[in-house]
Amino acid sequence: MTLFAPATTTRLVVKVGSALLVDPDGGVRRDWLSTLVADIADRAVAGQQVVIVSSGAIALGARRLGLAKGGRASLEDAQAAAATGQIVLAQVWSELLGGHDIPAAQMLVTLGDLEDRRRYLNAAATLGRLAGLGVVPIINENDSVATEEIRFGDNDRLAARVAQAAGAHGVVLLSDVDGLYDANPAHDPAARHIPVIERVDAVAAMADARSASGMGSGGMVSKLAAARIAVGAGIPLAIASGRVDRPLSGERRHSLFVAERTAPARKAWLAGGLTAAGAIHVDAGAAAALAAGSSLLAAGATAITGEFLRGDLVTVEGPAGTVARGLSEYDAGEARRLLGRRSDEQAAILGYAPRAALVHRNHLALL
C-alpha cells in the first residue's frame, strides 16, 4: 500500500525517530536522510504539504558533549544535550531541504503549548501559515526546558497532537519496524504483521514498550497512544519502516489505523489532551447518560479528586474507567459540595444560581 499519496492527503505529518536520524556513534545518517528529503520534495511538487516531527536532538548533543548513556543519565544532561543537538539537527534539515529549494522552519513546543487552548490555537495558526507558504516545519519537543512532569516524553504522541493542530489528513510514524505485530518480531519469528487496525483498543495488549535502538523514548506503546489521539480526531495514522531508502516512496508494507468519524475541532482537542487538573467520578447511570449525549449533572457524580478551577480540563471517571474529558463548570471545592445533589437543591447549597452542569456537553468529549 502507498503511504498517504498526495492526491488523497493534502497535508501530512511525518515523525522521524532518533534511531533513523542518528547512527550508533552519535552522527547524523545524512545519506539516508537525503533520501527521505527527496521523498518530501517529490510530494511537495505533487501538491502535498509535509510537516516533520524530528527526534534526534538529545542523541546528537550527547555525542558533542561526551555525555554518558546517550545524554539520558539525568534530566540536566538531557536538557543540555537537547539544547546542543537541536541547533545541529535544524541545520541539517535546513541544508538538505534547501538543496531542493524548500525552505525549512523550526518550531520547538512544550506540552503546555498544545494543552493550553489559546497556545494551541496560536501553534495551529503558525503551522497553517508555514504550510501555506510552502515551508516545511521541523518540530521537536523543547527538551531543553521540559521536565519529567510537563513533557510529552515521546515524539509519537507529539506527532499526533501536531497533526490535530496542523489540520493534517494523515500521520506517518517512521519506525524501526514496518508496523504492528501480534507479538514482538525481534523475539518471536512467528509474529504476524497486522496491516489494518479498525480499533486501537482491540490491539492494545500487543504493544511492547521497549525501544529497539535504545536511543528513543517510546516503543509500540507510545505509537498506540499516538494512534488513539490521531484517529479520535479523524486522522488516519500509519506505522512504517524507516530502515529503507526513500521510505515514503512506492508500495511500502505498514500498519494503518483507520480514522474514526471526524470530531469537531474543539472536542478533538479535548479528547486528545494528555493532562488533566483533576477528575470527577460518576456512577453507571451518569456514564450511560454521557454516552447518550447528555451533560454531566451533579446528581450522578460520586467523588472529586484533584484541585481544579472553573474552566480547567478534567477527566470523567466511570465504574469501568475514563469515559470523557471536559472543562469543569465549577471549582473542585464547589463541585464537592454538589456531589449527588439534584439541580433544585443547588442554589441553597451554593448561595447563588447554579450552572446547568458540572461539565456541559458542549465542553465535553467522550473517549
Three-state DSSP at 190 gives: coil
> Using the 8-state DSSP alphabet, how is residue 2 labeled?
B
Closest CA to 229 of 155, 300, 288, 290: 155
Which cell is 73 given? Answer: 543519565
74 labelled as ligand-binding? no
Closest CA to 133 of 91, 105, 93, 168: 105
> What was the pLDDT predicted at 157?
93
Selection from 238-247, 260-269, 348-357 with the highest mean pLDDT: 238-247
- Measured distance CA(109)–CA(155) in Å, rounded: 11
- Measured distance CA(56)–CA(17) in Å, rounded: 7
15 labelled as ligand-binding? yes
Give the model's confidence band at 218: pLDDT under 50 very low, under 70 low, under 90 confident, else very high.
low
220 labelled as ligand-binding? yes
pLDDT digits 0-9 by tens, 270-323? 878 778 889 999 999 999 999 999 999 999 999 999 999 888 889 999 999 999
343 labelled as ligand-binding? no
Q: Where are any strands of DSSP class E within the chain?
A: 11-16, 49-54, 104-109, 136-141, 170-175, 180-181, 193-194, 196-197, 237-241, 254-257, 278-282, 301-306, 313-318, 321-327, 364-366
Name, in order, each residue with C-beta under 8 angstroms of 200's C-beta and a sequence gap of 6 or more: 224, 227, 228, 231, 257
Residue 203: HSE in the Cβ half-sphere, 13 Å Cα cutoff: 28
Alpha-carbon Rg for the chain in angstroms:
22
203 labelled as ligand-binding? no
Q: What residues pair up with 171 in beta bridges, in sequence order?
A: 13, 237
- Measured distance CA(79)–CA(58) in Å, rounded: 8
- Measured distance CA(290)–CA(337) in Å, rounded: 21
pTM: 0.81
Residue type, 302: T
pLDDT digits 0-9 by tens, 99-155? 999 999 999 998 888 888 888 889 999 999 999 999 999 999 988 876 654 567 789
55 labelled as ligand-binding? yes
- Measured distance CA(317)–CA(321) in Å, rounded: 5
Q: Is the pLDDT of residue 257 over 50?
A: yes
155 labelled as ligand-binding? yes
217 labelled as ligand-binding? yes
What is the DSSP secondary-structure string of 271-323?
Answer: HT----SEEEEE-HHHHHHHHTT--B-GGGEEEEEE---TT-EEEEEETTEEE
